[in-house]
Amino acid sequence: MTRFCTAINCVDGRIQLPVISYLTARFGAEYVDLVTEAGPNRILGRQTDGVLCESILYRVRFLIQRHGSVGIAVTGHYDCAGNPAGPREQAADTLAAVKYLRQCFPQISIIGLWINERWEVVEVSEAMMGLLPA
């Protein structure tokens, strides 16, 4: 059976392949569906733009229904034009986005990812917050 997962990813092309590679291994998926926006961790973490939040949620719901996504990741990354905050603030946005998405989709595994300046993917956790530069 084909397995899909979903990345709520920034539109920045530099992070697409690292995120896809990470998620296929992390969720054991053959395919990664991409829902892209500029700075999605900020959009979902702060929820100040209801139209964009609903647009993202609509697309994620569609992918869950049509492809049976086994996991969802929301991303933040170094040098992001859509969320120009530093790594610590972006990690906080990502954790808030994960919390929000878990309320919307409690039946699915949801993780947050940080893509650093070397384009390496790291899962975001409360424990790593203190290790990140402001």
* pTM for the predicted model, two decimal places: 0.93
pLDDT in tens, 109-130: 999 999 999 999 999 987 666 6
Query: Can you give the C-alpha Rg of the chain in angstroms?
Result: 13
Q: Which of 63, 87, 66, 65 is nearest to 75 (CA)?
A: 87
DSSP 77: E
Q: Please give the average pLDDT of every successive group of 10 residues along the chain, which has 134 residues.
A: 94 97 97 98 97 98 96 97 92 96 97 96 79 60
Residue type, 99: K
Distance between CA atoms of residues 72 and 105, nearest Å: 9
List the strands of the sheet with 71-77, edge to edge.
31-37, 4-10, 71-77, 109-115, 121-123
State the pLDDT at residue 131.
Answer: 57
* Domains of the chain from N-terminus onward: 4-129 (3.40.1050.10)
Distance between CA atoms of residues 98 and 41, nearest Å: 8
State the pLDDT at residue 126.
Answer: 74
State the pLDDT at residue 133.
Answer: 62
